[in-house]
Amino acid sequence: MAWNGIAGRYYDYPIEVTAGESAPSLTWARYMFHRHQHWLADREAMAAGLSSWRQSAKGCLNVAELEGRVAIVTGSSSGIGEAAARRLADAGAQVVVNSASSVAAGESVAESLPTDSIYVQADISEQAQGIALVDAALHRFGRLDILVNNAGWTSPVPHEDLESLTDEIFRRTFDVNVFGTWWLTKAAMPHLRESPDGNVVNVTSIAGVRPIGSSIAYSMTKAALNQLTVLLAKSCGPVRVNAVAPGLVSTPWTADWDEMHELVANKAPLRRSATPDDIALAVVTLVTNTYTTGEIMVVDGGLSLTI
């Protein structure tokens, strides 16, 4: 114990007192030095505790909330899908990571997750490959609880340039974004019905609710997915079906869209594009809120309020 003559009370400072030296005779410099050392230690402990609290509070998830659940996340070798896979795994879910290509990246994501997770290559625009993706999840884990339909495709075409929106671009956009999502959800639904809280989260876009988007075809597909979401929610209960509709997100796909990112930074109330984790947190919120279905959650920093 060390005597604080100013305050008139003791502090738990481990100050050595030499033989014959009384506590009140400790020099002010020694007292202040040791007090500062303890203040630094207390500040570091508080900062560590606050950091830990922020990490656990961000997303409002208990680390074991999804323990034992199995999730398929399509298009999860990077970007939004990767962030969603990581958030789900952090909450305890076993995750099937997927991509149509980017095999090495997908395998790396699966191997880095904290739960028993796997990577399965499949192009969901091919119906047989989507079915095989579901079968792979069932073969490995014996169940399926969560489907995150994140895989998508686009080729930017100015809306006024109708001739440049070729039939090939149009069909490919619908094949991946609509048909692929539809086929995969149909294949998964019987197994989701067996889960105590089977649910689907479709990653759509504000292009599905506002007259914007990388192409007219892309906007049409995202509007179709939003409508599919509410129709399935109504028809397939108690399986829950929701959607997250992001604005512009900073991903490898949009890395060179500098003009668009600048526009969002100037126009959106929150003054920036989304990060993949912003969208992943919304996905996990819908996965874990067991009384929510049929919702289209817009996550765009307020951009759609201004356009």
pLDDT in tens, 188-228: 999 999 999 999 999 999 999 999 999 999 999 999 999 99
pLDDT at residue number 256: 85
Is pLDDT at 58 greater than 50 in this prediction? no
Q: Are residues 31 and 115 in the same domain?
A: no
Nearest to 188 by CA among 246, 245, 116, 122: 122
**What band does 102 get if pLDDT is binned at 50, 70 and 90?**
very high
180-191 average pLDDT score: 98
d(CA 50, CA 86): 22
Residues 136 and 223 in one domain: yes
Check: CB of residue 280 under 8 Å from CB of residue 107: no
pLDDT of residue 9: 34
Answer with the residue of higher pLDDT: 81 or 14.
81
CA-to-CA separations, 302 to 152, 220, 232, 245, 274, in angstroms, rounded? 23, 21, 27, 12, 11
Residue of higher predicted confidence among 15 and 167: 167
- Residue 80: inside a domain: yes
Of the residues 55, 74, 94, which one is the last residue of a structural domain? 55
Which pLDDT belongs to residue 138?
Answer: 98
For residue 155, tell me if it sits in a domain.
yes
Checking if the pLDDT of 55 tops 80, the result is no
Q: What is the pLDDT of residues 238-254, one digit of tens each?
A: 999 999 999 999 988 88
Residue 36 domain-assigned (yes or no): yes
Give a yes or no: residue 60 inside a domain.
Answer: no
Q: How many domains does the chain divide into?
A: 2
- Residues 166-176 have a mean pLDDT of 98
If phi > 0 it is left, if psi is from -120 to 50 it is alpha, else beta; for residue 306 that is alpha
**Rounded average pLDDT over 115-142:** 98
pLDDT at 37: 54
User: Has residue 142 got a pLDDT over 70?
Assistant: yes
Helices 103-112, 79-90: axis angle to 10 degrees equals: 20
Q: Residue 2 corresponds to which tokens in the numbers above?
A: 């060390």
* Residues 50 and 69 both lie in one domain: no
Rounded to the nearest angstrom, the gap between the alpha carbon of residue 110 and the centroid of all alpha carbons in its chain is 15
Q: Which residues contact 83 (CB under 8 A, 6 or more apart)?
A: 275, 276, 277, 279, 280
* Domain-embedded: residue 47: yes
**Mean pLDDT within 175-193:** 98
Check residue 207 and report its DSSP letter: G
Q: Are strands 296-299 and 240-246 parallel, antiparallel or unpaired?
A: parallel
CATH code of residue 120: 3.40.50.720
Do 153 and 208 reside in the same domain of the chain?
A: yes
On whether residue 257 sits in a domain, the answer given is yes
* Cβ partners under 8 Å of residue 67, min gap 6: 91, 92, 93
Is 28 found in the same domain as 69? no
Q: Are residues 24 and 106 in the same domain?
A: no
Q: Based on the domain organization, do 115 and 179 belong to the same domain? A: yes
Task: Specify the pLDDT at position 257.
Answer: 87
- For the stretch 271-297, pLDDT in tens is 999 999 999 999 999 999 999 999 999
Query: Which residues, in sequence order, are bridge partners of residue 10?
Result: 3
Q: Which two tokens stand for residue 148?
A: 């995150």
Rounded to whole angstroms, the Cα distance separating 105 from 207 reads 28
Residues 45, 140 within the same domain: no
14 and 159 in a single domain? The answer is no
Based on the fold, state whether residues 114 and 262 are members of the same structural domain: yes
> Residue 1 has what pLDDT?
38
pTM of the model: 0.80
Residue whose tokens read 């076993």: 94
C-alpha distances in Å from residue 123, one per residue of 140, 172, 244: 19, 12, 22
Range of the domain at 218: 65-305
Report yes or no on 40 lying in a domain: yes
pLDDT at site 200: 98
Average pLDDT of the chain to the nearest whole number: 86
Is residue 24 assigned to a domain?
A: yes
Annotated active-site residue 218? The verdict is yes
Residue 11: phi and psi, rounded to 5, are -125, 155
Are 84 and 48 within one domain? no
- Looking at 10, 11, 31, 218, which residue is catalytic? 218
Give the per-residue pLDDT at 30.
Answer: 52
**Same domain flag for 111 and 216:** yes
